[in-house]
Amino acid sequence: MAISNATLAGLNRTRLLEMHYKMALLRRFEEKSAEEYTRGKIGGFMHLYIGQEAVGVGSISTLRPEDKVLSSYREHGQALMRGMEPGVVMAELFGKVTGCSKGKGGSMHMWSNELGLYGGNAIVAAQMPIAAGVALAEQYQESDAIVACFFGDGAVDEGAFHESLNLAAIWKLPIVYICENNQYSMGMAVEKAWAVDSLMPRAAAYNMPGQQADGMDVIAVYEAVKPAVERARSGGGPSLLEIKTYRFRGHSMTDPAYYRTREEEQKWRSSRDPIGIFEKKLLEHGIATQAEFDENDAKATQGWPRRLRSSRRIARSRSRTSSIRM
């Protein structure tokens, strides 16, 4: 098959394949984490990013190395996207001194000054005022860096969300607020928790642009986040994005997810897998081949120490839309 020179959202084939690789890496890393957690090798709480890969990859692909990223406790994906070595993230999960937080933080506390990654925050919405403070520091120092602040739909119900957005708007801080609306905060469905059916009225309340995007489509995420990043970088102030997604696993490793049906989960996995959707798009545009996806997938499992690679595999269901098994 002839490879096309087509671009998607201005991204060339090399960058698109790199994004595909990152999505595969995030998926495979989380599967491995789940496996090791089940074997009792990882302690504490652990929240997986499976299903939400397009949000982290699409958003962080718009950033520069000097930009700063803050996230919630579901942040393995952001750490990997920011360039943290998978072995370092895994070591942190294992509580090893070679982890990014010297093994003292674990799953919810990925941190790297060099990579501009300021957590990993276990308290819901805690990262939002911190992100505003980091953005204020960047503004004060007249740097070109901006802040990307990720949070879940549950964080919107916290006072810290409202205080942060208000101050960010008043001070025109260089920040992009990225809500990963995966439709549940723990077991609470978003339609039972929000008096409004989208985040757009909240953006209006704090006088900043609001934008929604399909969080299962990495290109749609990239296209939504990019103008917000440019606006922040050029002194235009903050934006609020609502990226609609779905976590394929429970809230944490110990969540049996009784609050939703197995049919609902299966429907998302089989028809809205973000990796499958991206692969289909790349194939349709003739930009990449199945062999290249397979190559990326194989490479994605090579990031952690060799002895972890051969250990027992957990049962996985095959997604019908993705060549990458879940």
The token pair that represents 300 in the structure block: 């994605």
Which of 155-182 are b and which e, b meaning 16 or more Cβ less than 10 Å from the residue's Cβ?
bbebebbbebbebbbebebbbbbbbbbb
Single-letter code of the amino acid located at 71: S
155 is in the binding site of which of Mg ion, ligand TPP, none (Cβ under 5 to 8 A by kind)? ligand TPP
Cβ atoms within 10 Å of 17's Cβ, excluding its own: 18
Which residues contact ligand TPP (rule: CB under 6 A)? Answer: 47, 72, 74, 122-124, 152-155, 182, 184-186, 251
Using the contact rule CB under 5 A, the part of the chain among 54-62, 97-105, 150-158, 163-171 near Mg ion is 150-158
Strand partners, 244: 181, 214
Classify strands 210-214 and 147-152 as parallel, antiparallel or unpaired.
unpaired
Q: Tell me the closest approach of the beta carbon of residue 224 to ligand TPP, in angstroms.
A: 19
The token pair that represents 55 in the structure block: 């949000």
Q: Tell me the closest approach of the beta carbon of residue 182 to Mg ion, in angstroms.
A: 4
123 is in the binding site of which of Mg ion, ligand TPP, none (Cβ under 5 to 8 A by kind)? ligand TPP
Using the contact rule CB under 5 A, the part of the chain among 30-38, 122-130, 167-175, 180-188 near Mg ion is 180-188
| Residue nearest Mg ion, CB atom distance | 152
Distances (CA, A) of 223 to 57, 62, 241: 12, 9, 11
CB closer to ligand TPP, 45 vs 171: 45
How many Å apart are CA 302 and CA 231, to the nearest integer? 37
Residue list 192-251, contact with Mg ion (CB under 5 A): none
Give, in degrees to the nearest 5, the angle at Cα 202 between 200 and 206: 120
- CB 8, CB 219: distance < 8 Å: yes
- CB 68, CB 78: distance < 8 Å: no
186 is in the binding site of which of ligand TPP, Mg ion, none (Cβ under 5 to 8 A by kind)? ligand TPP
How many Å apart are CA 63 and CA 226, to the nearest integer? 8
Q: Tell me the closest approach of the beta carbon of residue 135 to ligand TPP, in angstroms.
A: 21
CB closer to Mg ion, 28 vs 247: 247
74 is in the binding site of which of Mg ion, ligand TPP, none (Cβ under 5 to 8 A by kind)? ligand TPP
CB closer to Mg ion, 139 vs 185: 185
- CB 153, CB 185: distance < 8 Å: yes
How many Å apart are CA 87 and CA 225, to the nearest integer? 29
How many residues bind Mg ion (CB under 5 A)? The answer is 4
72 is in the binding site of which of ligand TPP, Mg ion, none (Cβ under 5 to 8 A by kind)? ligand TPP
Q: Which of 51, 56, 58, 152 binds Mg ion (CB under 5 A)?
A: 152
189 is in the binding site of which of Mg ion, ligand TPP, none (Cβ under 5 to 8 A by kind)? none
Interaction between residue 185 and Mg ion (CB under 5 A): yes
Interaction between residue 71 and Mg ion (CB under 5 A): no
- List of residues contacting Mg ion (CB under 5 A): 152-153, 182, 185
